[in-house]
């Protein structure tokens, strides 16, 4: 295997893992010393720290890794013995990440994932090696897994079908978060500004409510956006043979590769802001891509880019998921169900808002000036506006939601504000559920839910309202493909 | 394609078979009533505690809150009484050589289809009430989700599990000649 060590040679991870593992405990111990104080406590905690470092050293020394002809064997010969074998035939992806500690020690973390639903969010093995060695191992495993793979350094020379500028990354970070998140984030910001301005004018200290609201703005919108910008900085995607390669990251860098046959579904997403800018992004549902670091586990094939580039990338990167889809619209019965739902939601909202509206009216009716004429009507007007928005969103949802059943692939189109087109492969469908509520039954429609294995374990994707028999086509096609032999278990088994 | 044997959907004189689907034993109604009654008792206990302690927390809205709680209790009571016979009347399941097909629901009707090819694991489990009544449930795990056959008689649950295991086993056996070739080829 090119670039890999002598077969069956036992190697160890880089010793920096001892520091990496001990670091979080060091922080906790330091905090404990600061909190409790006292020489005795400090001495006990220092002893605990030394014991932890020795334990981590012992574990590092007794853990070996072998890359043999059939798989990777990770063996730990401590009190709690462990031998983990990861056969190459079951490995879905081999990824590399580099955090700050890795940069300090010039190492990389090799994440090995297998096709397991139960542990889809956690890599089966996380191994730290010197950077060049990790690259060599990954390249060698890439050869073994995908029959090809760029050698270290060769990857840079391979052209990407599209370039993503820092501005594209910033736009993706800011506008790929859901519209609900954006609206609530800006509402929190507006409220904090509203609270802060009078206090600033009066020379008062910032109000507590304003700070909480500002914190909510940070948590709901700013932090996710900034995290996305850091995560996807220097974004690069390319395909070589049947393997897709992704590279990105500012502080922590990611190098991910997976076989196209591991993709279960493709999602083309357009948030409201993205639609206004004529941009869209592509996400994929692929098994065994856990980064193990809490970030979004669903890989992105295209950041928010203009629709033409997104379509071109879709055709070039995953032509297996491109087909002439002509999604059918929901039947008239669906409109009745959606309108009834909107009416119930509006009634509930009006009922909930009735008391607060009356209270605000009573409290502000006696106020003079502009405030006196506007504030009493503020909540009833806001409620009326919300009801209008509910009905408008319902009408848009009825217009947009679609379903198409092709011969190899099928598509769900969903969303009123943020829209999503999901193209799925019949051969990856694990289970189909068709649901008919009492109102839907009255109007002769049903909703479908398709269960797939995804990067985060199991996932399900829902359809709009269609006739039960129409949605039943999905399950029947899955079964027909199995019976006719069109479904190849060698390519699709998990 | 119906699977030959007791699950092929053909009438075997068993009144519980209908349109190729099988129905549950009537004991499921009793099991549901007992389960629901226990849950309802817990709800009533919560209500009693709320009446005692809510005064301090909810004041001055204690009374309307308790009325809302009583309304919820009344709705739940209707559901507890009505749901089991409706559930029994609507529950159907069918296992053929290629699929597991379950139709169920009280208010919302569900039709679940699991291709046998996707079955990873079959598990039989029994809670204390079902153990007393001789009932069990079969949980069918796929890579993307779980389907459950509820309130089967124990013998029936074991037959279903055995049948599913044999169907999956047969499918895997058919694939065995191809497996060595797969191991030999890199890139799979």
Shared domain for B73 and B134, answered yes or no, is no
Does any domain span residue A285? no
| Top-confidence residue, A245 or A116 | A245
Q: What is the pLDDT of residue A434?
A: 96
Shared domain for A23 and A82, answered yes or no, is yes
Shared domain for A344 and A460, answered yes or no, is no
- Does residue B103 sit at the A interface (CB-CB below 8 Å)? no
Segment A31-50, tens digit of pLDDT: 777 777 777 777 888 888 88
pLDDT band at A341 (very low <50, low <70, confident <90, very high): very high
Q: Do A436 and B109 touch (CB under 8 A)?
A: yes
Segment A15-29, tens digit of pLDDT: 998 988 888 777 777
Q: What is the pLDDT of residue A441?
A: 93
pLDDT higher than threshold 60 for residue A180: yes
Q: What is the pLDDT of residue A154?
A: 60
Count of domains for chain B: 2
Segment B51-79, tens digit of pLDDT: 888 777 777 777 788 888 899 999 999 99
- Contact status, residue A493 vs residue B182, Cβ threshold 8 Å: no
Shared domain for B170 and B103, answered yes or no, is yes
The nearest alpha carbon in chain A to B185 belongs to A89
Q: Which residues of A touch B (CB under 8 A)?
A: 70, 88-89, 117, 144-147, 429-438, 441, 451-454, 458-460, 468, 472, 475, 478-479, 482-483, 487, 489-490, 494
Does any domain span residue B71? yes
Q: Do B108 and A147 touch (CB under 8 A)?
A: no
Of B1, B118, B175, the CB nearest to A430: B118
Length of chain A: 494
Q: How many CB pairs below 8 A link A and B?
A: 89
- Does residue B180 sit at the A interface (CB-CB below 8 Å)? no
- Does residue B107 sit at the A interface (CB-CB below 8 Å)? yes
Q: What is the pLDDT of residue A242?
A: 86
Segment A147-172, tens digit of pLDDT: 555 555 566 666 778 889 999 999 99
Could you tell me which of A254, A252, A311, A279 has the C-alpha nearest to residue A176? A279
Q: How far is B111 from chain A (nearest CA, A)?
A: 5
| Top-confidence residue, B166 or A196 | B166
pLDDT higher than threshold 90 for residue A440: yes
% of residues, chain A, pLDDT over 90: 42
Domain end among A181, A201, A234: A234
Shared domain for A174 and A141, answered yes or no, is no
Mean pLDDT in chain A? Answer: 84
Q: What is the pLDDT of residue A147?
A: 58
Q: B60 preceded by cis ω (within 30°)?
A: yes
pLDDT higher than threshold 50 for residue B187: no
- In degrees and rounded to multiples of 5, residue A447 shows phi and psi of -120, 145
Of B107, B112, B143, the CB nearest to A433: B112
Between A285-299, A425-439, B59-73, the lowest mean confidence (pLDDT) is in A285-299
Alpha helices in A401-446 (DSSP H): 438-442
Does any domain span residue B83? yes
CATH number of residue B99's parent domain: 2.30.29.30
Does any domain span residue B131? yes
Shared domain for B61 and B102, answered yes or no, is no
Q: How far is A56 from chain B (nearest CA, A)?
A: 35
Dist CA A468 CA A449 (whole Å): 12
- Contact status, residue B103 vs residue B109, Cβ threshold 8 Å: yes
Dist CA A433 CA A440 (whole Å): 15
Count of domains for chain A: 4
pTM of the predicted model, to two decimals? 0.77
Range of the domain at B38: 27-87
Q: Do A89 and B188 touch (CB under 8 A)?
A: yes
Q: Do A144 and B178 touch (CB under 8 A)?
A: no
Q: What is the pLDDT of residue B105?
A: 92
pLDDT higher than threshold 70 for residue A290: no
Shared domain for A172 and A89, answered yes or no, is no
Q: Of B145, B148, B183, B185, which to mutate for an interface test with A (greatest number of A Cβ within 10 Å)?
A: B145
Shared domain for B116 and B161, answered yes or no, is yes
Tell me the average pLDDT across A167-187. 92
Could you tell me which of B120, B118, B110, B119 has the C-alpha nearest to residue B150? B110
Read off the tokens for A419.
């829209």
CA angle (A376, A382, A178) in 5-degree steps: 150
Shared domain for A36 and A144, answered yes or no, is yes
Shared domain for B109 and B135, answered yes or no, is yes
Domain end among B36, B69, B87: B87
Q: What is the pLDDT of residue A115?
A: 61
Q: Of B68, B92, B106, B111, which to mutate for an interface test with A (greatest number of A Cβ within 10 Å)?
A: B111
Shared domain for B106 and B135, answered yes or no, is yes
The nearest alpha carbon in chain A to B119 belongs to A430
Contacts of B188 in chain A (CB under 8 A): 89, 490
Q: What is the pLDDT of residue A204?
A: 52
Q: What is the pLDDT of residue A5?
A: 52
Range of the domain at A485: 424-492
pLDDT higher than threshold 50 for residue B90: yes
Does any domain span residue B119? yes
Tell me the average pLDDT across A370-390. 87
Q: What is the pLDDT of residue B117?
A: 87
| Top-confidence residue, A325 or A120 | A325
Between A197-201, A365-369, B32-36, B136-140, the lowest mean confidence (pLDDT) is in A197-201
The nearest alpha carbon in chain A to B117 belongs to A482
- Contact status, residue A96 vs residue A111, Cβ threshold 8 Å: yes
Does any domain span residue B51? yes
| Top-confidence residue, B126 or B14 | B126
Between A201-210, A377-386, B41-50, the lowest mean confidence (pLDDT) is in A201-210
The nearest alpha carbon in chain B to A480 belongs to B98
- Contact status, residue A255 vs residue A245, Cβ threshold 8 Å: yes
Read off the tokens for A324.
């002439």
Contacts of A149 in chain B (CB under 8 A): none
Shared domain for A128 and A170, answered yes or no, is no
Shared domain for B120 and B75, answered yes or no, is no
Tell me the average pLDDT across A92-108. 85
Q: What is the pLDDT of residue A153?
A: 59
Shared domain for A355 and A474, answered yes or no, is no
pLDDT higher than threshold 60 for residue A336: yes
Does any domain span residue B5? no
Does any domain span residue B54? yes
Q: Of A258, A426, A431, which to mutate for an interface test with B (greatest number of B Cβ within 10 Å)?
A: A431
Q: Of A71, A93, A258, A430, which to mutate for an interface test with B (greatest number of B Cβ within 10 Å)?
A: A430
Q: What is the pLDDT of residue B13?
A: 40
Domain end among A157, A186, A203: A157
Could you tell me which of A285, A276, A265, A329 has the C-alpha nearest to residue A307? A276
- In degrees and rounded to multiples of 5, residue A410 shows phi and psi of -140, 160
Q: Do B111 and A434 touch (CB under 8 A)?
A: yes
Contacts of A490 in chain B (CB under 8 A): 178, 182, 188
CB contacts under 8 A, B 116-145 vs A, are 117-118, 142-145
- Contact status, residue A456 vs residue A298, Cβ threshold 8 Å: yes
Shared domain for B96 and B80, answered yes or no, is no
Does any domain span residue B18? no
Helix-helix angle A166-175:A223-232, to 10 degrees: 150
Q: Do A458 and B145 touch (CB under 8 A)?
A: yes
Q: What is the pLDDT of residue A148?
A: 57
Shared domain for A15 and A94, answered yes or no, is yes
Q: What is the pLDDT of residue A121?
A: 61
- Contact status, residue A288 vs residue A120, Cβ threshold 8 Å: yes
Dist CA A354 CA B59 (whole Å): 20
Between A111-125, A173-187, A268-282, A342-356, the lowest mean confidence (pLDDT) is in A111-125
Shared domain for B119 and B76, answered yes or no, is no
Shared domain for A112 and A178, answered yes or no, is no
Q: What is the pLDDT of residue A100?
A: 84
Shared domain for A52 and A116, answered yes or no, is yes
| Top-confidence residue, B161 or A115 | B161
pLDDT higher than threshold 70 for residue A141: yes
Shared domain for B99 and B124, answered yes or no, is yes
Measuring CA to CA, how many Å separate B180 from each of A37, A86, A136, B110, B186?
64, 18, 29, 41, 12
Domain end among A213, A234, A255: A234
pLDDT band at A371 (very low <50, low <70, confident <90, very high): confident
Q: Do A489 and B147 touch (CB under 8 A)?
A: no
What does R_g of chain A's alpha carbons equal in angstroms? 27
Shared domain for A54 and A122, answered yes or no, is yes
Shared domain for A172 and A196, answered yes or no, is yes
Q: Of A88, A145, A451, A466, which to mutate for an interface test with B (greatest number of B Cβ within 10 Å)?
A: A451
Contacts of B175 in chain A (CB under 8 A): 489
Tell me the average pLDDT across A448-465. 82
3-state per-residue secondary structure call for A101-148: HHHHHCEEEEEEEECCCCCCCCCCEEEEEEHHHHHHHHHHHHHHHHCC
Read off the tokens for A85.
């074998």
Read off the tokens for A261.
């046959």
Mean pLDDT in chain B? Answer: 81
Q: How far is A368 from chain B (nearest CA, A)?
A: 30
Domain end among B40, B63, B87: B87
Q: What is the pLDDT of residue A337?
A: 96
Contacts of A432 in chain B (CB under 8 A): 112-113
């Amino acid at each position: 295997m090119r670039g890999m060590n002598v077969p069956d040679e036992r190697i160890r991870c880089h010793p920096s893992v001892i520091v990496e593992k001990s670091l979080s405990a060091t922080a906790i111990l330091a905090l404990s010393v600061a909190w409790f104080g006292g020489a005795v406590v400090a001495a006990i905690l220092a002893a605990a720290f030394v014991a932890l470092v020795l334990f981590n050293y012992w574990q590092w020394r007794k853990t070996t890794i072998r890359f043999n002809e059939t798989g990777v064997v990770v063996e730990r010969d401590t009190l709690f013995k462990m031998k983990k074998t990861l056969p190459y035939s079951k490995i879905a992806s081999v990824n590399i990440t580099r955090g700050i500690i890795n940069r300090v020690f010039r190492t990389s973390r090799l994440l090995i994932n297998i096709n397991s639903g139960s542990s889809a969010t956690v890599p089966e093995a996380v191994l730290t090696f010197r950077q060049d060695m990790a690259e060599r191992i990954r390249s060698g495993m890439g050869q073994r897994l995908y029959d090809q793979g760029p050698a270290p350094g060769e990857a840079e020379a391979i052209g990407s079908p599209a370039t993503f500028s820092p501005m594209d990354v910033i736009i993706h970070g800011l506008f790929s978060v859901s519209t609900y998140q954006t609206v609530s984030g800006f509402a929190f910001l507006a409220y904090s500004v509203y609270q802060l301005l009078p206090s600033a004018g009066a020379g008062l200290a910032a109000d507590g409510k304003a700070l909480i609201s500002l914190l909510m703005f940070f948590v709901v919108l700013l932090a996710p956006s900034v995290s996305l910008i850091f995560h996807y900085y220097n974004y690069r995607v390319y395909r070589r043979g049947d393997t897709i390669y992704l590279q990105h990251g500012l502080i922590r860098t990611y190098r991910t590769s997976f076989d196209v046959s591991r993709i279960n579904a493709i999602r083309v997403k357009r948030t409201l802001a993205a639609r206004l800018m004529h941009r869209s992004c592509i996400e994929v549902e692929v098994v065994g891509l856990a980064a193990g670091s809490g970030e979004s586990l669903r890989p992105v094939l295209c950041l928010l880019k203009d629709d033409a580039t997104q379509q071109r990338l879709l055709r070039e990167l995953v032509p297996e998921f491109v087909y002439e889809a002509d999604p059918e619209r929901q039947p008239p019965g669906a409109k009745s169900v959606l309108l009834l739902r909107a009416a119930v939601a509006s009634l509930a909202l009006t009922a909930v808002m009735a008391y607060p509206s009356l209270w605000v009216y009573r409290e502000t009716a006696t106020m003079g000036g502009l405030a006196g004429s506007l504030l009493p009507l503020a909540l009833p007007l806001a409620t009326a506006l919300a009801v209008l928005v509910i009905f408008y969103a319902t009408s848009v949802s009825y217009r947009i939601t679609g379903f198409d059943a092709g011969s190899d692939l099928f598509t769900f189109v969903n969303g009123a504000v943020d829209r999503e087109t999901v193209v799925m492969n019949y051969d990856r469908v694990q289970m189909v559920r068709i649901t008919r509520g009492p109102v839907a039954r009255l109007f002769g429609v049903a909703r479908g839910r398709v269960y797939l294995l995804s990067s985060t374990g199991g996932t399900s994707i829902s359809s709009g309202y269609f006739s039960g028999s129409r949605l039943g086509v999905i399950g029947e096609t899955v079964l027909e493909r199995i019976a006719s032999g069109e479904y190849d278990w060698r390519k699709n088994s998990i | 394609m119906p699977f030959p044997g007791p699950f092929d959907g053909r009438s075997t004189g068993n009144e519980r078979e209908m349109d190729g689907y099988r129905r549950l034993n009537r004991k499921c109604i009793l099991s549901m009533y007992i389960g629901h009654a226990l849950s309802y008792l817990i709800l009533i206990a919560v209500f009693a505690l709320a009446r005692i302690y809510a005064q301090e927390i909810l004041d001055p809205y204690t009374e309307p809150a308790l009325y809302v709680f009583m309304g919820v209790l009344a709705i739940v009571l209707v559901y507890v009484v009505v749901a089991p016979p409706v559930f029994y009347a609507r529950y159907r399941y069918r296992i053929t050589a290629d699929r597991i097909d379950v139709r169920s629901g009280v208010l919302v009707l569900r039709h679940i289809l699991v291709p046998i090819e996707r079955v990873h694991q079959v598990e039989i489990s029994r809670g204390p009430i079902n153990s007393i009544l001789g009932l069990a449930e079969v949980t069918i795990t796929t890579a993307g989700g779980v389907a459950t056959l509820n309130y089967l008689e124990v013998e029936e649950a074991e037959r279903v599990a055995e049948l599913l295991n044999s169907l999956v086993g047969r499918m895997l056996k058919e694939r065995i000649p191809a497996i060595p070739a797969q191991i030999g080829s890199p890139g799979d």
